């Protein structure tokens, strides 16, 4: 990584670079001094194709990496967002995590004074976008999402990395349902004693653990709290704490009991509600003590929910047959039509995904 950064630095100051073959229409491509421009070559290897989004740190672009010959995402980092060596250390840690549910960070680079991250590009929508367009998700879908968050976090925790900013905006859902956790930008290495965030409070207010809000030493259980808030949002459609000012939200995370999930959505499975409540206990000792433990609890519920959904589907098929004109059971048919009027078994089984 250092070698790359060095060679990029040597190129600073070049105004124009001859680039063969891309974009096809032009012979000469301007090398930007500031933000990457769509349709130009950035940092001698990234063909910038489009702007994907903007976040707190900078802008994210889709690009084609000529060296890797694959699509990548380039995230520019505002100067004040990059706190010297500690940030590099965080990136080094993030690169240690190799897991299907963790978005791969390639490198930290610098071009014309602009720091940037190159990452695996993932086609898909953030969980935030999914929740905005779909609202409350069926239990079986939500549990699949939760399981993948747990798997990604377990891989990070196994190599000593705390995410520190779990929120729907940092979770990408691929069209086939795969999930990637991204932005291990707030991740730090833990030692035996846990970890203290340096330089004040980081993370995003709505999902921040009480200990994080208070600037205390963090351990993996802080990620479990934030995951619990994400689950709360997935299953109820809203966050447990809001307020007119950032301080009001932080205050509530530290001091207020969250409204019970079932007070917001009575259709939530009771066991799921209990799991969410346990994740967001103020006292880290009262939460699940590892994502493995949380995953196990979710897996048990998943089996029960799948079983309930399968039974509901079977009863529905039987009802459909009995109600259909093909049914030879004409008398029974008549009886069933009146006995089961308005009682669709699927509608009474909470949150089965449609097949």
Ligand X SMILES: Nc1ncnc2c1ncn2[C@@H]1O[C@H](COP(=O)(O)OP(=O)(O)OP(=O)(O)O)[C@@H](O)[C@H]1O
How far is residue 202's CA from residue 301's CA, in Å, rounded to a whole number?
33
How far is residue 300's CA from residue 184's CA, in Å, rounded to a whole number?
29
Taking the complex as a whole, the smallest distance from the CB of residue 57 to Mg ion amounts, in Å, to 8
Taking the complex as a whole, the smallest distance from the CB of residue 134 to ligand X amounts, in Å, to 16
Binding to ligand X, residues 157-196 (CB under 6 A): 169-170, 182-183
With CB atoms as reference, the residue minimizing the distance to ligand X is 55
Taking the complex as a whole, the smallest distance from the CB of residue 78 to ligand X amounts, in Å, to 10
How far is residue 174's CA from residue 123's CA, in Å, rounded to a whole number?
6
Binding span for Mg ion by CB under 5 A among 15-23, 156-164, 168-176, 234-242? 168-176
* Beta-bridge mates of residue 172: 126, 180
Active-site residue, 165 included: yes
Report strand pairing: 59-65 vs 41-42.
Answer: unpaired
Q: Is the dihedral of CA 190, 194, 198, 204 positive or negative?
A: positive
How far is residue 225's CA from residue 133's CA, in Å, rounded to a whole number?
25
Binding span for ligand X by CB under 6 A among 116-124, 149-157, 233-241, 324-332? 116-124
**Quick one: 180 or 302, whose CB is closer to Mg ion?**
180
Choice among 165, 183, 223, 269 that is catalytic = 165
Taking the complex as a whole, the smallest distance from the CB of residue 279 to ligand X amounts, in Å, to 21
Q: Which residues contact 138 (CB under 8 A, 6 or more apart)?
A: 351, 352, 353, 354
**Quick one: 183 or 211, whose CB is closer to ligand X?**
183
The beta-carbon contacts of 126-129 under 8 Å, at least 24 apart in sequence, are: 126/168, 126/169, 126/170, 126/171, 126/172, 126/173, 127/168, 127/169, 127/171, 127/172, 127/173, 127/179, 127/230, 127/234, 128/167, 128/168, 128/169, 128/171
**Quick one: 121 or 288, whose CB is closer to ligand X?**
121
User: In Å, how far are 67, 175, 296 from 63, measured between CA atoms?
Assistant: 12, 20, 39
The candidate with the shortest Cα–Cα distance to 50, out of 59, 64, 69, 63, is 63
Taking the complex as a whole, the smallest distance from the CB of residue 53 to ligand X amounts, in Å, to 3
Taking the complex as a whole, the smallest distance from the CB of residue 110 to ligand X amounts, in Å, to 18
Binding span for Mg ion by CB under 5 A among 29-37, 130-138, 142-150, 176-184? 176-184
Binding span for ligand X by CB under 6 A among 83-91, 114-122, 210-218, 224-232? 114-122
Per CB under 6 A, the list member of 29, 91, 103, 197 interacting with ligand X is 103
Give the x-and-dash track for 47-86 against ligand X (CB under 6 A): -----xx-xxx--x------------x-x-----------
Does 93 bind ligand X (CB under 6 A)? Our answer is no
Q: Which residues form the catalytic set?
A: 165
Residues at the interface with Mg ion (CB under 5 A): 55, 170, 183
Residues at the interface with ligand X (CB under 6 A): 52-53, 55-57, 60, 73, 75, 103, 119-122, 126, 169-170, 182-183
């Amino acid at each position: 990584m250092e070698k790359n950064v060095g060679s990029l630095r040597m190129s600073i100051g070049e105004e124009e670079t001859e680039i063969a073959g891309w974009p096809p229409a032009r012979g000469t491509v301007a090398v930007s001094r500031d933000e990457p421009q769509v349709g130009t070559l950035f940092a001698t290897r990234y063909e910038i194709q489009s702007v994907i989004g903007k976040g707190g740190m900078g802008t994210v672009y889709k690009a084609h990496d000529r060296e890797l010959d694959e699509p990548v995402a380039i995230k520019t980092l505002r100067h004040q967002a990059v706190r010297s060596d500690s940030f590099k250390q965080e990136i080094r840690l993030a690169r240690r995590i190799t897991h299907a549910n963790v978005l791969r960070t390639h490198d930290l680079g610098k071009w014309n004074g602009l720091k940037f991250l190159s990452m695996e590009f993932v086609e898909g929508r953030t969980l935030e976008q999914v929740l905005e367009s779909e609202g409350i998700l069926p239990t079986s879908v939500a549990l699949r999402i939760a399981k993948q968050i747990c798997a990604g976090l377990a891989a990070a925790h196994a190599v000593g990395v705390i995410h520190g900013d779990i929120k729907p905006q940092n979770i990408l859902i691929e069209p086939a349902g795969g999930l990637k956790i991204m932005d291990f930008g707030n991740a730090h290495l833990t030692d035996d004693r846990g970890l203290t965030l340096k330089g004040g409070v980081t993370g995003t207010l709505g999902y921040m653990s009480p200990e994080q809000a208070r600037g205390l030493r963090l351990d993996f259980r802080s990620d479990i709290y934030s995951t619990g808030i994400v689950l709360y949002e997935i299953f109820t459609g809203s966050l447990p704490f809001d307020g007119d000012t950032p301080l009001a939200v932080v205050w509530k995370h530290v001091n207020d009991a969250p409204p019970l999930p079932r007070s917001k959505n009575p259709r939530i499975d009771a066991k799921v509600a209990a799991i969410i409540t346990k994740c967001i206990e103020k006292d880290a000792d009262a939460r699940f003590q590892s994502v493995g433990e949380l995953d196990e609890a979710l897996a048990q519920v998943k089996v029960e929910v799948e079983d309930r959904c399968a039974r509901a589907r079977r009863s529905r098929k039987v009802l459909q047959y009995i109600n259909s004109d093909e049914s030879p059971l004409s008398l029974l048919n008549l009886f069933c039509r009146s006995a089961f009027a308005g009682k669709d078994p699927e509608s009474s089984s909470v949150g089965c995904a449609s097949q």
